[in-house]
Copies of this chain bind each other. A is one copy, B any other.
Amino acid sequence: MRGIPLTRRQVLKRFGAIGGSSLVLTAMDAWELMGEPSRPRPVLASGERPPGRVVILGAGISGLVTGYELGKLDYDYRILEARDWVGGLCWTVRRGDTHTEIGGETQTCEFDEGLYFNGGAWRIPNADTSVLEYCRELDVPLEIFIDVADANYFYEENAELGPLSGKRVRLREVKADLWGSTAELLAKAMDQGDIDVTLSEEDKERLVEFLVRAGYLDSEDHAYRPPEMRGSEERWDLSALLSSGFGSRVRSLYEGVGGPAPVFQPVGGMQQIPFAFQRAIGDRITFRAEVRSIRNTEDEVRIVWRDTSTGEMREERADYCVCCLPMSVLKSIDVNLSPEMAAAIDNTGHSDSAKMGLQMRRRFWEQDDGIFGGHLWSRSLELGEFSYPSNDYYTQKGVLLGYYGSGAQAGLADLTVAGRIDHVVSQASKVHPQMRQELESAYAVWWDKVPFSQGAYGRSPSADARAQLAKADGRLYFGSAGTGSRPAWLEGAIQAAWRTVETLHQRVMQG
């Protein structure tokens, strides 16, 4: 506003905030005029099967969406996937799941049947309506992901914080104390006539009434009185609270990493979304097909792949190829690229994020701490984001996300899995001393070490590189989330897929 040009996403967020998803979709329909991807529309199809066969590399979200939408346009296509399951970074780890780290150890998940955690993607902002509309279309049940809970703790070990150092401080304490102090200061200043407010006497009274109620002030002397709901009646020292920085999570309209509430998650784990695409797509996916080389010629594309169950090398030929492999994997494959495209691919990067799920015998965070979802915030603890499950409340056991951060932090990437688990349990025990006693099993997903991913979500390439990646290189297209501007989100994968399908389809129909 105020003269600053908006990005497309900002405009969509604004529409979403005002009008919900149907307005967003209308806006997105209009967007084609501006050259941004929207969902490919069958109206472009001729009614006959479009000429040309397409091979898609990778059955992560972008590959699945590409296949699903090409299927709606009646294309003949096939997806090659190196693993024997779909989803890529959208992996929900559950009993029996297994992987061998690059350079090492094999884990097999030993969680109880029915327990799980999302090893990669895990939350869907309500502004990400493309994801949510697919959930509607493909019957993926959703539930609320609690991104921020008033019961959540801050924990810092820092002598400068004085009385707050080494203490578990609840978000609700911070909210009540900071707004309470604010209301108290303003109300008392108004009482003393210290302040020039251009309001009628009646409105001034109403404002004070608001401050008293909203800030939990004493109705007589207008001093802040911590409310019962805050949990303890001692307020924190204001000076200590101000220097703690905890107040940065207190706003009139709070927004978590997933945006304003509600944030969603599929019931049963994030991988329910790729599973639903798989059901819709049917048998067009070839599993255990590890791509080794891509030959992009004038007439066709030839993909050489290795059958990981037999070791046999095979070849797939198609008129077009859409590569939805992670950019990190693409970089290690033998492909004949134009120099411009090779440079653009080199411009991409990726996160080294890692996650660890820990199955606990007892949901002590619910039973002992009254915490239902949300996160533990700490810079002192080397845990990244430590999170409580937003599902299966008041059941017996549960899986904590004990770690979500850089895989390299604290030298963790160099430790054995057992060593990493010990690190997480030791650190988290400072806030939750029950950790060690209640731990039953754990599973570590260090994405840099996961074969066929070789890294977590991408880092958005430069605008120039993105423009290049949006083009075809001969008969080869690039459709993974890592080619776009929101590579860390499912929405980014969908947008990348839409853009690719649209570009490819226009070429074929003009053909």
A interface, CB within 8 angstroms of B: 1, 10, 13-14, 16-23, 126, 132-133, 135-136, 139, 141-144, 146, 149-150, 172, 175-176, 178-180, 182-183, 185-186, 189, 192, 194-197, 199-200, 203, 206-207, 210-211, 213-216, 227-233, 238-239, 242-243, 247-248, 250-253, 255, 260-262, 264, 365-373, 390, 392-396
Which residues on B sit within 8 Å (CB–CB) of A1? 228, 233
Q: How far is the CA of A371 from the CA of B228 in the complex (A)?
A: 30
Contact B369 A19 (CB under 8 A): yes
How distant is A150 from chain B, measured CB to nearest CB, in Å? 7
Which residues on B sit within 8 Å (CB–CB) of A139? 395
Which residues on B sit within 8 Å (CB–CB) of A366? 20-21
Which residues on B sit within 8 Å (CB–CB) of A22? 367-368
Contact B195 A141 (CB under 8 A): no
Contact A19 B262 (CB under 8 A): no
Contact A144 B144 (CB under 8 A): yes
Contact B210 A247 (CB under 8 A): yes
Q: How far is the CA of A366 from the CA of B238 in the complex (A)?
A: 40
The listed residue (B211, B216, B396) touching A182 by CB distance below 8 A is B211
Contact B199 A195 (CB under 8 A): no
The listed residue (B175, B247, B261) touching A150 by CB distance below 8 A is B261
Which residues on B sit within 8 Å (CB–CB) of A367? 20-22
Q: How far is the CA of A230 from the CA of B247 in the complex (A)?
A: 20
Q: Which residue of chain B has the shortest Cβ distance to A244 in the bound complex?
A: B206
Q: Which residue of chain B has the shortest Cβ distance to A215 in the bound complex?
A: B252
Question: A10-B228, A229-B260 in contact; A203/B142 too (CB < 8 A)?
Answer: no
How distant is A169 from chain B, measured CB to nearest CB, in Å? 13
Question: A260-B229, A392-B141 in contact; A195/B197 too (CB < 8 A)?
Answer: no
Contact A370 B228 (CB under 8 A): no
Which residues on B sit within 8 Å (CB–CB) of A232? 18
The listed residue (B17, B135, B394) touching A228 by CB distance below 8 A is B17
Which residues on B sit within 8 Å (CB–CB) of A365? 20
Some 11 contacts from A to B, beta carbons below 8 A apart, are A1-B228, A19-B370, A20-B370, A21-B370, A180-B252, A203-B242, A210-B250, A213-B248, A214-B247, A216-B252, A227-B253
Which residues on B sit within 8 Å (CB–CB) of A17? 228-231, 370
Contact A394 B133 (CB under 8 A): yes
Q: How far is the CA of A144 from the CA of B144 in the complex (A)?
A: 7
Which residues on B sit within 8 Å (CB–CB) of A239? 199-200, 203
Which residues on B sit within 8 Å (CB–CB) of A371? 20
Q: How far is the CA of A370 from the CA of B228 in the complex (A)?
A: 33
Contact A206 B242 (CB under 8 A): yes
Contact B213 A370 (CB under 8 A): no
Contact A150 B372 (CB under 8 A): no
How distant is A144 from chain B, measured CB to nearest CB, in Å? 5
Q: Which residue of chain B has the shortest Cβ distance to A179 in the bound complex?
A: B252
Q: How far is the CA of A149 from the CA of B263 in the complex (A)?
A: 12
How distant is A113 from chain B, measured CB to nearest CB, in Å? 14
Which residues on B sit within 8 Å (CB–CB) of A394? 132-133, 135-136, 142, 264
Q: Which residue of chain B has the shortest Cβ distance to A140 in the bound complex?
A: B394
Which residues on B sit within 8 Å (CB–CB) of A175? 252-253
The listed residue (B150, B203, B242, B373) touching A260 by CB distance below 8 A is B150
Contact B141 A176 (CB under 8 A): no
Contact A176 B264 (CB under 8 A): no
Which residues on B sit within 8 Å (CB–CB) of A261? 149-150
The listed residue (B135, B179, B182, B243) touching A206 by CB distance below 8 A is B243
Contact A214 B252 (CB under 8 A): yes
